[in-house]
Amino acid sequence: MKRNILAIAMLLIPTGWAVPSDAANPEHVRQVIETRFCIGCDLSEADLSGVDLRGANLGGSDLYEANLQDVDLSGANLTDAHLDSTDLRRANLKGVILEWANLEGANLSGANLSSVNLEWTNLGKTNLSGANLRRATLNDFDMDSLNLCGATMPDGSISTVGCEE
């Protein structure tokens, strides 16, 4: 009986190493909103939806699982940024610098990626349905891992890749 109580107690005691905290640094969130400049910042899981970040410099920043829905990032520098699993639905990314950025598993449905160079960007398992990719530069990637259904491709054609038949 004592062992059962001890085992249950051990399960209920919170441990600092069991669940790491990946939440954004509040000071970094304030800095990016106020100055649009935050190189190498921890913005993971931050809610920046609808924020005007035109021309922001977020190079090398961690935006893992951040909410960037409807954000205007046009002309921003996101070189080497970690945007994996980030929500960028309907975001304006026109002319953004995304070299060496990680967008694996990101949701970019309905986003504007016109004139963006995606040559050195990780796009694995990315949702680009309905995205605008006009005049974008794309690298060689596995199209099977992307949802491009309804996306406007660089040549102006509409993609059917990822559309269910």
Could you name the CATH architecture of 40-165? Answer: 3 Solenoid (2.160)
Domain ranges of the chain: 40-165
Cα dihedral 40/84/108/149 (nearest 10)? 150
Structure tokens at 158: 């509409």
* pTM beyond 0.85: no
What residues form DSSP beta bridges with 87?
67, 107
95-134 b/e (C-beta count within 10 Å ≥ 16 → b):
bbbbbebbbbbbbbbbbbbbbbbbeebbbebbbbbbbbbb
| Cα–Cα distances in angstroms (integers) from residue 112 to residues 44, 58, 128, in the given order | 22, 18, 10
Instruction: Of 109, 101, 150, give the one whose Cα is nearest residue 126.
Output: 109
pLDDT in tens, the chain (165 residues): 544 443 433 333 333 322 234 589 999 999 999 999 999 999 999 999 999 999 999 999 999 999 999 999 999 999 999 999 999 999 999 999 999 999 999 999 999 999 999 888 889 899 999 999 999 998 766 666 889 999 999 999 999 988 985
